[in-house]
Amino acid sequence: MIPPDLPAELKAALDAKLEGVSRNEVAARAAAISRTYRDGGTSLAIRSATDALAYALARMPATYAAVGACLNALSEARPAFAPQTLLDVGAGPGTASWAAGAAFPSLTSFALLDANAALRTLALELQRASRRFGDVKYDASEARSALNGAEAADLVVASYLVGELGDAERESLADAMWARTGDTLVVIEPGTPAGYARIVSLRGRLIAAGAHVAAPCPHDAACPLPSPDWCHFSRRLARSRAHKQAKGADLPFEDERFSYVALTRAPITLRASRVLAQPLVGKAAVSAKLCTPAGLAVTKVPRRDRAAYATARHWRWGDAVREKS
């Protein structure tokens, strides 16, 4: 299981890139890019080397933490999964490749693709700081056309990409990514109702094409959450000084909310329920909202059931848990 913090080599490489660069300029560019995102824009706002660095300092810690959490959930659902090849679609500064490299020591080949030349340059510079990335290819192209010519990979990841495309493009991207998936596809989006809706739609489309859900859902049925509820998770990460400066933030931590799905070609045999919100630990019982293989449930684990209560007290939002039958 990988921790939420950026690997030391990546932190050091980002710090080294900051040397001689105006912190104020980086913070101003990070703020402008994040305003663009809030106003519904995309990473087209990232054009220069400073933009790419500002984006990486402001967002890589959080997206790394989110991707790491999803890969941890995948490993828990499929402990024997040991991918050798990775395809990181919409790779940007290479965040998902760093997380996958840490989560899966078995990975030997990393293929990245992204339309943004400034982010590609930064990603390659950062990856040079680590021996982990011996065999790296980074294709600076539009994802759907590049996927047609890409080799299939054991693990395909698209982190915070799908929301940058229009509706029709999303469907063809989903199909193209699945076509290149040898074993497992992981798609991560912001943990907003809109991000969740994109995950649900891609999930349904690819289940119809033969995919099975490894995480977070313990079933391949339609999502049982009634609107306006939405399935999302949260990971807390510490902020470094450079991260705080880039974001103009004082708090020493941030909570990244994300929605995701991990889809595999092999059916999952043993499926654990998923904790959908932070459980309430009361004196009489632990009360938890769960997605179970049979659908949505609000489970109460009474204190009188001492062993089960002791276990349930440690349940956390996002955990895969096995209830007593």
Ligand X SMILES: C[S@@+](CC[C@H](N)C(=O)[O-])C[C@H]1O[C@@H](n2cnc3c(N)ncnc32)[C@H](O)[C@@H]1O
Query: Is residue 127 a contact residue for ligand X (CB under 6 A)?
Result: no
Query: Is residue 104 a contact residue for ligand X (CB under 6 A)?
Result: no
Residues 82 and 106 sit within 8 Å (Cβ to Cβ): yes
Query: Is residue 116 a contact residue for ligand X (CB under 6 A)?
Result: yes
Residues 189 and 199 sit within 8 Å (Cβ to Cβ): yes
What is the SS3 assignment for 43? helix
Burial class (CB in 10 A: 0-12, 13-18, 19+), 83: buried
Query: Is residue 291 a contact residue for ligand X (CB under 6 A)?
Result: no
Question: Which range, of 23-31, 79-87, 93-101, 304-312, touches ligand X by CB under 6 A?
Answer: 93-101
The CB density around residue 298, as the number of other CB atoms within 10 Å, is 10
Pairing assessment for the beta strands 109-113 and 135-139 based on DSSP bridges = parallel
Residue of 34, 75, 127, 159 interacting with ligand X (CB under 6 A): 159
Query: Is residue 114 a contact residue for ligand X (CB under 6 A)?
Result: yes
Q: Which is nearer to ligand X, 159 or 259 (CB)?
A: 159
Backbone angles phi, psi at 231, to 5 degrees: -85, 120
Q: Dihedral of CA 157/75/124/94: which sign?
A: positive
Question: Which range, of 108-116, 126-134, 210-218, 240-248, touches ligand X by CB under 6 A?
Answer: 108-116
Q: Which is nearer to ligand X, 233 or 315 (CB)?
A: 233
Q: How far apart are the first and last CA of the chain?
A: 27
Query: Is residue 161 a contact residue for ligand X (CB under 6 A)?
Result: yes
Query: Is residue 305 a contact residue for ligand X (CB under 6 A)?
Result: no
Residue of 65, 96, 111, 312 interacting with ligand X (CB under 6 A): 96
Query: Is residue 63 a contact residue for ligand X (CB under 6 A)?
Result: yes
Query: Is residue 87 a contact residue for ligand X (CB under 6 A)?
Result: no
User: From residue 243, how far is each of 67, 90, 120, 131, 311 by CA, in Å?
Assistant: 18, 22, 21, 24, 36
Query: Is residue 174 a contact residue for ligand X (CB under 6 A)?
Result: no
Query: Is residue 164 a contact residue for ligand X (CB under 6 A)?
Result: yes
Query: Is residue 119 a contact residue for ligand X (CB under 6 A)?
Result: yes
Q: Which is nearer to ligand X, 127 or 273 (CB)?
A: 127
Q: Which is nearer to ligand X, 56 or 276 (CB)?
A: 56
Question: Which range, of 3-11, 14-22, 109-117, 302-310, touches ligand X by CB under 6 A?
Answer: 109-117
Site for ligand X in 27-46 (CB under 6 A): 43
Query: Is residue 160 a contact residue for ligand X (CB under 6 A)?
Result: yes
Q: Please count the residues of this chain forming the interface with ligand X, following the rule CB under 6 A.
A: 21
Backbone angles phi, psi at 54, to 5 degrees: -60, -45
Residue of 115, 176, 186, 290 interacting with ligand X (CB under 6 A): 115
Q: Which is nearer to ligand X, 188 or 285 (CB)?
A: 188
Residues 225 and 206 sit within 8 Å (Cβ to Cβ): no
222: tokens are: 């339609």
260: tokens are: 């995701």
What is the SS3 assignment for 154? strand
Residues 315 and 289 sit within 8 Å (Cβ to Cβ): no
Nearest to 252 by CA among 17, 18, 5: 5
Rg (CA), the chain: 20
Question: Which range, of 91-99, 193-201, 225-233, 292-300, touches ligand X by CB under 6 A?
Answer: 91-99
Q: How far apart are CA 198 and CA 156, in angstroms?
A: 17
Question: Which range, of 113-121, 198-206, 241-249, 271-279, touches ligand X by CB under 6 A?
Answer: 113-121
Give me the residues that bind ligand X (CB under 6 A), please: 43, 59-60, 63, 90-93, 95-96, 114-116, 119, 142-143, 159-161, 164-165
